[in-house]
Structure 1
Amino acid sequence: MGSPGPKPRNLAGPMGCTRRSAFISTVILVVAVLLTVLITYHFTKSAVQAEYGDINLLKAEEQKSGEIITAEELRLPNNIEPIHYNLTMKTYLPGYEVAPPATKNLTFEAQVIMTFKVTQTSRKIVVNSANLNIVHDECRVIVNNKPVKISRIEEIPKLEKLDFNLDESIEKDTMGELKIVYTGDISADLKGFYQSAYYSRKNEKIIAAVSQMEPSDARRMVPCMDEPSFKANWTVTIIHPKGTTALSNGIDLSTQEHTEGFMKTRFATTPKMSTYLLAVLVSAFEKIEKKTKRGTLFRIWARPEAINTTQYALEAGVKVLEFYEGYYGVSFPLEKQDMVAVPDFSAGAMENWGLVTYRETDLLYDPKIYSNEGKRRVAVVIAHELAHQWFGNLVTMRWWDNLWLNEGFATFVEYIGANHISDGAFQMDDYFIEAAQESAMETDKVASSHPLSFTVAKVEDVTEAFDGISYEKGGSFIQMLSTVMGKKSFDKGINLYLKQHSYSNAAAEDLWAALDKVLPDNVKGPDGNKLSVKEFANQWTKQMGYPVVTVNRLNSTTALLTQERFKPNKEAQEKAAYRNNQYGYKWDVPIWYMYGNDQTIRMAWLPRDQPLHLNLPKDTVLIVNPDSRGFYRTNYNVSDWKTIAEMLNKDPESLPYRAKTRLLFDAYELANDDKLDFTVLFDLFSYVKKETNYFPALAVLENLNAIRNHYGSEPEKIYLEKFYKSLLDANYQKISDLSYIENNYQNDSLFYKIGFDLRILFNYCQLEGVDCNEQFQTIFKDKVLAKCNDKDQLSECAEIGGPLRRKVYCEGVKNNGNSVYKKMLQWNRNEQTNTEKDNILNGLSCSKDITNLKGLLMSALNRDDGLFRFQDASHVFTAVGSNLIADEFMFKFMLQRWDQIYSSLIEDPTSLKWVIMTCTNGIRTENEIQQLKYFLKTAKNASKFSWITQALEEAELNVKWQNKYFDKLTKEFKDRMTTPPSN
């Protein structure tokens, strides 16, 4: 579910003192879409990757009381098996032809008939139900065509269960029907069946109703067996107001008048599927459509005001769906594929079979206001969600402890799919290194991480599964496994797995069995025998973390490779369940390597229980993991690091750009773990003066921004910034003028040429003493203030190229006082395009006034304010947190306003997570650590989420860095600017 990685994107969000979180402090000035990950790549990447979802198996009342409810208690009994659901719903939405009665406004009436098979003789039928009003007198049970009396219907809110106790036993192997009549609210909390509001061009409020079920919210719309393993067919009928269109998973078979003011739409029965994939939409949206080569009807739906921004999604969706049919070797099983842009949506997107729902920013594309990276984001999310139509929907994990099978594979495939959409222009295989692999390593280096596969022992563990481990690490491991096996064998195994388990459920062991079955005998493992995929995979999926491989040169022709777990915070303890795993935090590591002058990539195994000796040509430079396929870091002797730095400074093209990218990311992390001196690191970074490739340059910029983030607003940062500027000077002088960027950013063949220029430009302009921001202030005055009045929408009146809009708005707010800030607030309220609202938010968050910045945070928490949508609360905190001024108050804001933060965001725990991670990102003193620990012990509801521990661990790493490196690096930068080293 959600954005791929994302993240964001990860959706993912800030990660304390890490390089990745530090980059967030500048990335909003760049051109990426603010949300990622963060929930989901993840997701889906998956977005995102962000995309990471939310589970509410436990109600707030029980959480507050401290009662622990285990996953075992929440699970349904296995005495019956659902075969088919026949669902009929009538929805009452205001604003259409006939106004609903006041008592029924924003509600629905429904009945479901579940056909089931009895698998164990029993006198009880148990289904899931949450926040639904059951009409007890109209419920019925029929078994073998005979009624069975219901003695009592018991509703158990804390377990979200509905028990039908029967007067007599129902016998094994008999067939039956359970009819449930009920009503429910169309909620406002972005889960189950909920309302999404927007305004027409006439400023009329219009409400749509849409579903979001993953992981466990189908029970909020229909009583059902709401667990992934209980697959069944669904036949859905929706009665909806005239003036609306209804959509569900199956193709619409007929729409006819029902009663005054209502229409009735019947849908084709779905294939067998899990309840979390059930989807319903009632809206006045419009569509564009096209058919695939095999005749699948493909439609994109959006509110009428945005329908002109759907063409890219249609072309991309059709293209990648056709590609996936060949890639998976299985035809798409439905007659149609709908994709819908929803104005209010908590995740990045959701892969409902045949009816995928998206955040507007992740489906719509308007080149006028989107950056080129925003366009890539849309392609990635589409590729992620459509990848799920096979891996996740056709074959589904049995339970949430194997969520990573769904999300990790979709994250892996999204890069292949998005590359196909762009005809290779997005270079997704290269982008994977930073966006998925490095992101996963950041998440997985801390003790508060978790294995890919882990036992769901309690409710919180289910929530924990929706994170960057399942998405980005899952995708990174699958990429490594695919490389070890060979693409041909891996793809053959995936095809076998899908065909063996179609319309069913599977676990990781089933995938390993399929891959082992097709693996050729000549693919050897670390013991010299045929590789066991299962044994190799278990080491990487059942224990958390990853290794750092150390290369010791014994002499001019021999190297000794050893491994240890990469864990910067040695004092931090894992959860008790993860401390003593069977593999002892050792791995069978596939070692890919090359010699400096011979770029042929070779492979050897570093076994889990012994070192590896490599014989090399005399005095050659050894580079390990040059193609960045392995999920590990590599460290070298100091002399070897110096040799690599000298090579690159002399000739930046002496190594492939993927090898440079991996070296630069590893070197920074190793320096932060005392495994490499920062002096050597900065010698290595210095070569970027001559770098022209986007990916290694990005690695240097991200890592320097991470260091800059550590300095915050401290005056000593001036020495760092002088050094930083000296590295960028040469490339900055070569940047094309802004008119070239504005005229060419839509040209995909120039994607990374423009991207390189923008990265250099934005990073250079944020450094102290640099006056290049004046040109952005001029653009703001000439193309915003002079062109737009108070009633306009900036998306229509501001004549600025997509990649420059955020930077222009930022400089406009930063340098023009409160009068302009207030104008931007008004333009934010006027704006109907969510991507442009993101651009405006970036501008607002650049204010120099702390009162303004706190006001944005308060508006994000106030559901009635109307300035921001509920879905964007964490987005607002991330934007404000990127302003260096925010370091002075964000943590204190969290401590003082915790009750308000919690009560506002508890319905979306993923947003709550990123808000807390952002608020603790600026912790730099031991005193603040003690305050955070006290907060965790005493603040109401503060300690029950596992990621709070992650926030503490990241903060401790941050303080450790301040104590150990702040003064040392300040002297280093000062010395380099006084007597810069010769290169």
Structure 2
Amino acid sequence: MAADKKPFERLPTDVVPTNYKLELRPDLKLFKFTGTLDITMDVKKSTNRIVLNSAEIEITSAKCGGQDVTVTYDVEAETVTLQLTSDLAVGETTVSMEYTGILNDQMRGFYRSKYTHPDFPNEERYAGVTQFEAADARRALPCWDEPLIKASFDVTLIVPKDLVALSNMNETSCEDVEGGLKRVMFARTPIMSTYLLAFIVGEFDHVEGRDSNGVLVRVFTPTGKKENGQYALDVAVKTLPFYATYFDIKYPLPKMDLIAIQDFAAGAMENWGLVTYRERLLLVDPVNSSAFTKQLVALVVGHEIAHQWFGNLVTMEWWTHLWLNEGFATWIEYLCVDHTHPEFEIWTNFLSREYASALNLDALDNSHPIEIEVGPPSEVEEIFDTISYAKGSCIIRMLHDWIGTENFRTGLGSYLKKFAYKNAKTEDLWASLEEASKKPVATVMNTWTKQMGYPVLTVEGKQDGNNRILTISQKKFCANGDSSGHESVLWQVPVTIATSKNPTAVKFVLESQSTTVTVEGVGQDDWILVNPSRQGFYRVSYSATLLSPILSILGQLSAQDRLGLLNDTFALARAGVGSTVDVLRLIGSFISETSYTVWESLASNIGSLARLFSSTDCYEDFKRFALKLLTPSFARLGWDSKDTDSTLDTMLRSLVIGQLGRYGDPDMISESKRRFSDHVSEKDAIPADIKSAVFSAALSGGDESIFDHLVALHDKADSNEEKVRIYSSLGNGKTETLITKCLDFATSDKVRPQDLPAVLMSLTRSCPDSRERVWKFVQENWTMLKDRYNGQFLLARMIDVSTAGFVSEERAGEIEKFFSENPWPVAARIVKQNCEAIRLNAKWLQRDRDIVKEWLASQ
């Protein structure tokens, strides 16, 4: 900590709010707003000073309990102190303020979002939008901007008569005022944290319906796009009652609004009763949206609506417990979508996305525990990461499986009722689940939340008549393969063992470093599987005698078990405790794989190997290996959809076409260019589900004219989904000219600041030259990027994108040097993680390059 920087302190609680009465008048032309605020307070201890949070606000007048007030600001601490002439008496009092603020363009606080109206496409217009998590309500009103300090809110907005005004609660009155304005009043909110407050002013259309409990549900869209809100409305109408039943608590607000925002830094935000989304995560075009987009929208809607109970009704005490909000919502979004959309087979997707990414990150020395002490809110952004969301969801899933569905629901319902409209810590949830299940939940789960990493279970066995005697031991799994120094680290591991005859033959908790387990009724030729369906958050390493029977029946295993076995084998090879050639052989055995979700993991693993070998002399052989693996799936699926296709077949077709294009299949690239030409000339439109794949493949074998046509398609697209497809394709050009054109486009006014990382990512995944250029771009434009994304996590995202995937010690050292000279604290852990991963890649390549080259040549 710098010597001149004051240590962080939470706000004093001598005085706390019980109600905010807020009236705001935003000016969407001058980008300012004025506010009047009456805060009813509970004076718990007599004092003559009140300290609140405030940032970029000027208080023009203030009175408290009849006293005049002296106002002083602490810009660094983002606080304002109201100094009174005499002490306040214990009890209730009111402070009244008038103030002004800025409608900024930083996508935080109360900010402006630019858009165009379909009837006036050349005219820039602005909406007023809020994003307050983690600590930006203070940019809209002076307040106690900490999750623990809850209050109710009475919101009034004075806005132009022709605009829509929304807040957390239902509108109670609307009256005209002079100047072509209207005063819109909203009902009082429940007691809630400031980061969940929201208000929006702009031009919107909407669709609406009611759920089975009579709750009004509305989806707000940009003008002219209300039909694109229908899919999300259908999902929300099913989702709200699912959660009300699951939690055994009615949704406590009279309405549920979901709204698409055009300038939005996060993916979505769970403001109570008024959830905000990026357009592509809410809007579904009935004709031009892909099955992948529909799946994504269903998951994100499920996630944010889950927060209405878990996060909003019961809120974390401090950001240290953020994982409890996000990990739980990530787990239950999959449970909900499995209920509302079984065709997605969503739990296998969970493994290929949340589970795999969490295991990969948490094996690094520079990971962090799920529960990590957080000081000032500026530190919060650093833990909005894979550990909080993905690992958090994985250990919730493991806990759910261990204590059972009924115990879990009973304990969860008890927790939500006990802490409704209050705040809670992780330990409070464990206590409720422990009471319901009569199992030592806290003892077991603390080993997963309070320490970093996870174990690998080594499994060996011998036959004893009709029984199999297994020796199972645990040690910390380290991405570098070296667990020395971690010998004392243990987890309490819920273990399930399946056999060919019994899916749950044995269940127990491994509490020690090693144990012996007898599995009865298992013959010499029977297989045994540890951690079926990958409910437990750990890897498994089998002895050769146990692995061989599993591999012989690989195709008979569930998609979840095939996927898990593949990813464990891959991780062990990367760590140097397994063979990369064995991984390639195993990948090759998936040549007849038909599951989209297994292919999602296959493609990820193949992509990691491609990045590893992309600058070596065996890369051409590697691409031939990849194409050989992909060809049978394309032969089965073909270019065009069939009546017999499942939803997942549709998604797999796109994945396979994209992968064939990525690895240079000449027929795929040629046909993609032909179809792209027909699409551009409006002769024959490319179906939505394969658009992204065709765009990418066409450009990977194309020239500047294809790039220019893609930009032209972007410029006339009125769908954010279509634009994101193009962003993910534009980096696929392989020439220096195309790479330069892509970077120039990325920083032009055509790309909203929130979408720049998507364009950069398409470049980093294309080829080594593109990856190098992106890293150089970030260095050369560092000052511009800092200014543009000041205070936002999007810059951390760009740092992640631009520093990942390299394969040399030299590059790791260069990245470390740059960020030591140009520090960005929110991304400090990301830089360490990526540099560690780069060094692991370099060692992996050095270790296995020759044997992989020899094996690929033999194929």
| TM-score normalised by the chain length of structure 1 | 0.83
Please tell me whether residue 740 in structure 1 is matched to residue 641 in structure 2.
yes
With over 3 angstroms needed to count, the CA separation of the structure-2 counterparts of 1:954 and 1:906, relative to structure 1, is farther
With over 3 angstroms needed to count, the CA separation of the structure-2 counterparts of 1:295 and 1:618, relative to structure 1, is closer
Please tell me whether residue 133 in structure 1 is matched to residue 58 in structure 2.
yes
Q: 1:963 aligns to what?
A: 846
Report if aligned partners of 1:605, 1:612 keep a CA contact under 8 Å in 2.
no
Q: 1:667 aligns to what?
A: 569
Report if aligned partners of 2:639, 2:653 keep a CA contact under 8 Å in 1.
no
Please tell me whether residue 596 in structure 1 is matched to residue 519 in structure 2.
no
Residue 888 of structure 1 deviates from its aligned partner by: 3.9
The SS at the match of 2:172 is strand
In the alignment, the residues of structure 2 paired with residue 69 and residue 849 of structure 1 have an alpha-carbon distance, to the nearest angstrom, of 51
Q: Deviations over 1:906-940 (max 9, x none)?
A: 332x2222212222224222222222232233235
Please tell me whether residue 631 in structure 1 is matched to residue 537 in structure 2.
yes
In the alignment, the residues of structure 2 paired with residue 589 and residue 268 of structure 1 have an alpha-carbon distance, to the nearest angstrom, of 48
Report if aligned partners of 1:69, 1:459 keep a CA contact under 8 Å in 2.
no
Q: 1:154 aligns to what?
A: 72
In the alignment, the residues of structure 2 paired with residue 200 and residue 148 of structure 1 have an alpha-carbon distance, to the nearest angstrom, of 48
Report if aligned partners of 1:642, 1:680 keep a CA contact under 8 Å in 2.
no
Report if aligned partners of 1:606, 1:612 keep a CA contact under 8 Å in 2.
no
In the alignment, the residues of structure 1 paired with residue 713 and residue 830 of structure 2 have an alpha-carbon distance, to the nearest angstrom, of 36
In the alignment, the residues of structure 2 paired with residue 460 and residue 192 of structure 1 have an alpha-carbon distance, to the nearest angstrom, of 14
Residue number among 762, 771, 786 corresponding to 2:658 in the alignment: 762
Q: 2:23 aligns to what?
A: 88
Residue 516 of structure 1 deviates from its aligned partner by: 1.3
**Aligned positions of 1:576-725 closer than 5 A:** 584-616=488-520, 617-619=522-524, 620-648=526-554, 652-653=555-556, 655-725=557-627
Deviates more, 1:764-773 or 1:468-477: 764-773
In the alignment, the residues of structure 1 paired with residue 811 and residue 754 of structure 2 have an alpha-carbon distance, to the nearest angstrom, of 30
With over 3 angstroms needed to count, the CA separation of the structure-2 counterparts of 1:903 and 1:572, relative to structure 1, is farther
Q: 1:838 aligns to what?
A: 724
With over 3 angstroms needed to count, the CA separation of the structure-2 counterparts of 1:849 and 1:718, relative to structure 1, is closer
Report if aligned partners of 1:124, 1:164 keep a CA contact under 8 Å in 2.
yes
The SS at the match of 2:305 is helix
The SS at the match of 1:229 is coil
In the alignment, the residues of structure 2 paired with residue 216 and residue 161 of structure 1 have an alpha-carbon distance, to the nearest angstrom, of 12
Q: 2:799 aligns to what?
A: 916
Q: 2:630 aligns to what?
A: 728
Residue 480 of structure 1 deviates from its aligned partner by: 0.5
- Structure 2 letter corresponding to 1:564: K
Q: Deviations over 1:462-482 (max 9, x none)?
A: 222211111111111111101
- Structure 2 letter corresponding to 1:916: I
Residue number among 892, 899, 903 corresponding to 2:783 in the alignment: 899
**Aligned positions of 1:937-956 closer than 5 A:** 937-939=820-822, 941=824, 945-956=828-839
Deviates more, 1:717-726 or 1:268-277: 717-726
In the alignment, the residues of structure 1 paired with residue 282 and residue 754 of structure 2 have an alpha-carbon distance, to the nearest angstrom, of 16
Please tell me whether residue 484 in structure 1 is matched to residue 407 in structure 2.
no
In the alignment, the residues of structure 1 paired with residue 218 and residue 827 of structure 2 have an alpha-carbon distance, to the nearest angstrom, of 42
- Structure 1 letter corresponding to 2:610: R
Report if aligned partners of 2:324, 2:426 keep a CA contact under 8 Å in 1.
yes
Please tell me whether residue 561 in structure 1 is matched to residue 472 in structure 2.
yes
Q: Note the aligned Cα RMSD (angstroms).
A: 2.3
The SS at the match of 1:159 is coil
The SS at the match of 1:734 is helix
- Structure 1 letter corresponding to 2:13: N
The SS at the match of 1:488 is helix
Q: 2:36 aligns to what?
A: 111
Residue 597 of structure 1 deviates from its aligned partner by: 4.7
Q: 2:857 aligns to what?
A: 974
Q: 1:386 aligns to what?
A: 305
With over 3 angstroms needed to count, the CA separation of the structure-2 counterparts of 1:713 and 1:887, relative to structure 1, is farther
Report if aligned partners of 2:657, 2:693 keep a CA contact under 8 Å in 1.
no
**Aligned positions of 1:106-255 closer than 5 A:** 106-135=31-60, 138-142=61-65, 147-150=66-69, 152-172=70-90, 174-201=91-118, 202-203=120-121, 204-255=123-174
In the alignment, the residues of structure 1 paired with residue 633 and residue 219 of structure 2 have an alpha-carbon distance, to the nearest angstrom, of 42
Report if aligned partners of 1:712, 1:887 keep a CA contact under 8 Å in 2.
no
Residue 79 of structure 1 deviates from its aligned partner by: 0.8
With over 3 angstroms needed to count, the CA separation of the structure-2 counterparts of 1:515 and 1:130, relative to structure 1, is same
Please tell me whether residue 312 in structure 1 is matched to residue 220 in structure 2.
no
Deviates more, 1:754-763 or 1:925-934: 754-763
- Structure 2 letter corresponding to 1:226: D
Report if aligned partners of 2:23, 2:157 keep a CA contact under 8 Å in 1.
yes
In the alignment, the residues of structure 2 paired with residue 338 and residue 911 of structure 1 have an alpha-carbon distance, to the nearest angstrom, of 26
- Structure 1 letter corresponding to 2:108: K
With over 3 angstroms needed to count, the CA separation of the structure-2 counterparts of 1:822 and 1:761, relative to structure 1, is closer
Residue 444 of structure 1 deviates from its aligned partner by: 1.2
Residue number among 404, 407, 422 corresponding to 1:504 in the alignment: 422
Deviates more, 1:935-944 or 1:546-555: 935-944
Q: 1:853 aligns to what?
A: 739
In the alignment, the residues of structure 2 paired with residue 640 and residue 571 of structure 1 have an alpha-carbon distance, to the nearest angstrom, of 24
Residue 874 of structure 1 deviates from its aligned partner by: 1.2
- Structure 2 letter corresponding to 1:269: R
Please tell me whether residue 293 in structure 1 is matched to residue 199 in structure 2.
no
In the alignment, the residues of structure 2 paired with residue 398 and residue 232 of structure 1 have an alpha-carbon distance, to the nearest angstrom, of 14
With over 3 angstroms needed to count, the CA separation of the structure-2 counterparts of 1:130 and 1:570, relative to structure 1, is farther
The SS at the match of 2:693 is helix
Report if aligned partners of 2:52, 2:81 keep a CA contact under 8 Å in 1.
yes
Please tell me whether residue 469 in structure 1 is matched to residue 391 in structure 2.
no
Report if aligned partners of 1:595, 1:621 keep a CA contact under 8 Å in 2.
yes
Q: 1:279 aligns to what?
A: 198
Q: Deviations over 1:342-379 (max 9, x none)?
A: 11111110000010000000000014332211110000
Q: 1:421 aligns to what?
A: 340
The SS at the match of 1:676 is coil
Q: 2:770 aligns to what?
A: 886
The SS at the match of 2:553 is helix
With over 3 angstroms needed to count, the CA separation of the structure-2 counterparts of 1:161 and 1:396, relative to structure 1, is same
Residue 457 of structure 1 deviates from its aligned partner by: 4.2
With over 3 angstroms needed to count, the CA separation of the structure-2 counterparts of 1:922 and 1:442, relative to structure 1, is closer
Residue 941 of structure 1 deviates from its aligned partner by: 4.4
Residue 448 of structure 1 deviates from its aligned partner by: 1.5
In the alignment, the residues of structure 2 paired with residue 783 and residue 843 of structure 1 have an alpha-carbon distance, to the nearest angstrom, of 15
Report if aligned partners of 1:645, 1:687 keep a CA contact under 8 Å in 2.
no
Report if aligned partners of 2:653, 2:690 keep a CA contact under 8 Å in 1.
no
Report if aligned partners of 1:397, 1:506 keep a CA contact under 8 Å in 2.
yes
Q: 1:30 aligns to what?
A: none
In the alignment, the residues of structure 2 paired with residue 558 and residue 716 of structure 1 have an alpha-carbon distance, to the nearest angstrom, of 43
In the alignment, the residues of structure 1 paired with residue 615 and residue 843 of structure 2 have an alpha-carbon distance, to the nearest angstrom, of 18
Report if aligned partners of 1:125, 1:163 keep a CA contact under 8 Å in 2.
yes
Report if aligned partners of 2:134, 2:377 keep a CA contact under 8 Å in 1.
no
Residue 744 of structure 1 deviates from its aligned partner by: 7.5
Report if aligned partners of 1:353, 1:393 keep a CA contact under 8 Å in 2.
yes
Residue 642 of structure 1 deviates from its aligned partner by: 3.5
Residue 281 of structure 1 deviates from its aligned partner by: 0.3
Where relative contact order (Cα < 8 A, 6+ residues apart) is larger, the structure is 1
- Structure 2 letter corresponding to 1:762: G
Structure 1 unaligned spans of 5+: 1-62, 95-104, 521-530, 574-578, 788-797, 978-983
Structure 2 unaligned spans of 5+: none
Residue 829 of structure 1 deviates from its aligned partner by: 2.6
In the alignment, the residues of structure 2 paired with residue 686 and residue 122 of structure 1 have an alpha-carbon distance, to the nearest angstrom, of 73
Residue 286 of structure 1 deviates from its aligned partner by: 1.3
With over 3 angstroms needed to count, the CA separation of the structure-2 counterparts of 1:88 and 1:319, relative to structure 1, is same
Report if aligned partners of 1:558, 1:613 keep a CA contact under 8 Å in 2.
yes
Please tell me whether residue 335 in structure 1 is matched to residue 254 in structure 2.
yes
Report if aligned partners of 2:809, 2:838 keep a CA contact under 8 Å in 1.
no
